[in-house]
Each structure stands twice: as structure tokens, then as C-alpha cells.
Amino acid sequence: MDPIISAVDLANELAGPTPPVLLDVRYQLGGPHGRPDYEAGHIPGAVFIDLDAELAGPPGAGGRHPLPDVAAFGAAMRRAGISAQTPVVTYDADKGWGAARAWWLLRWTGHENVRVLDGGLAAWAGPLETKTPEPVEGTFTPQPGALGLLDADGAAGWARDGLLLDARAGERYRGEVEPIDRVAGHIPGAVSAPTAENIDENGRFLSPERLTARFVELGAGQDAKTVGVYCGSGVSAAQQAVALELAGFEPVLYAGSWSEWSGDPARPVATGPQPG
């Protein structure tokens, strides 16, 4: 299934016989909480999902946004009205990061019918509502493992023997700045691939052909159809995972990402523009 859906197609599906469950995952790294914006206006029927509370566990040794407790995540998805066969569409209002995190978690836990709204809320031309919906509880039971997942050792091996993409901004990869984590730099062997280069000026994903060309230039190809990806804390890397799927590659996510890696003084750190 295509990992994204256009706003036009979403409007048609919402008017059809089996409308998707909508998840509003507005989130900004270091920005204000998304709930007030949701309450001010959201796509009709959308349920607000709190990324920090429902799509991540408590910060700690596993990073700033470790994977959530699976049972708690399943309960949150059921409260939103999700069952195993329910179509789901996620959206946000900033680069697709939050929406992609929800997409990745649902896919990783076995839900096959989930898509990201291409272009996010800005692409939606229909009405907004302020009413908070009360969906009928779903029956979704998460079964982790449907997508590839890396730990720190796995990420090191992927950077050494395969292709590991660093989804953060280039200046953070190069170690020129580090506004959040303990150490600046990147995992040795990882290749810089900022998420900003996956989308156009309207926030929509580039065409599959352009994304394929991008990832091939970065080192993906016939012998590297599976590609590892990480970021600062496992959120923006999920957007890269969506782009990789659009391009025909199979993403594997290092969920702990740089926040976990850099928190361990025993882990090596590279700086500069090259993989190191």
C-alpha cells in the first residue's frame, strides 16, 4: 500500500462507505504542545494523538523519544477507534514528522492500512471543526516486528556494512551545532540525508522517481534495497522511512537514534561532511 494519501483522495474516502480513522499528530520539536492548535480547528472526526505521551516512552537511556510501551500504545490506538482492518490516515502541520511517527508505529505493530496525509493540514482544503469526537473503541492489538528495527549495535553494523542514513539537518550531522544532545556529530559510517530534501516547497513528498534518484545517489540500489535510518530521537527518521518506501526501498529504523547513541560515552563519534 502507498504510504501517503492526497488531500483530494482523503476527502473522497471520508465521504465514502468506510471512512478512515484520522489521527491529528501535531508536534514541533521544542515547540508548543499541539493540543491547543487541534482544539482551534482540525479535520472533521480527527482524534488528537500526543506524540510525547502516546507515541513515545519516558526519556532516558533509550533516548529522548524511545518506543512507547506496546500495551499502552495499543490502548491509545483503540481509544482512537482503530481496529485491525480500520483504514487510518495520520497528519500533522510540520514536515510530516509527527504523522510519520504514528504511521511507523502502526506499521511496526502490524497495522497494514495506514497512510500519511501528503502535505499535512496545509494541503486540506475542506472544512475544519472544533468538536472533539468520541469514537467507538477499536480492537487493534499491536504485534511488534512487522517493520525492521535497529538497536545501537545494529545501527553501528548497518553503518559499517550497509547504508545508514542520518535524517537530521546537515549542520548537526557535521557536528557544527548540537542544540539538544550531549555530543555533536554522527554515527561513524552514516551518510547525511536531511529530511527537508524529501519534500517540496509545499511540504509534499517528492515523486517516487525523484526520491529513488536521491537515495540511489546516497548509496542505495540493487544491492542495498534495505536502508537503515536514524535522526535525533527517532521522530524525523520516520518521515525518511515514508520517503524510502515511496522510493521502493525497505527502511529499518534506529529508534533510539542520536539521543541514545550520544548518551553513551563508549560509542564513537564522527564529525565533518564525510561518513567518517
Sign of CA dihedral 70, 73, 78, 82: negative
10 Å Cβ neighbour count for 177? Answer: 10
Residue pair 264/161 in contact by the 8 Å Cβ criterion:
no
Question: What is the C-alpha end-to-end distance of the chain, expressed in Å?
Answer: 36
Q: Return the H-helix or E-strand segment holding 227.
A: strand 226-230
- How far is C-alpha 181 from the geometric centre of its chain's CA atoms? 19
Query: Which single residue is written with the C-alpha cell 546516497?
Result: 218
Give 53-58's long-range contacts (Cβ < 8 A, gap of 24+): 55/25, 55/98, 55/101, 55/102, 55/105, 56/101, 56/234
Q: How many CB atoms lie within 10 A of CB 263?
A: 19
Active site includes 147?
Answer: no
Among the options 25, 231, 237, 243, which is catalytic?
231
Phi, psi dihedrals of residue 88, rounded to the nearest 5°: -130, 140
Q: Which residues are catalytic?
A: 231
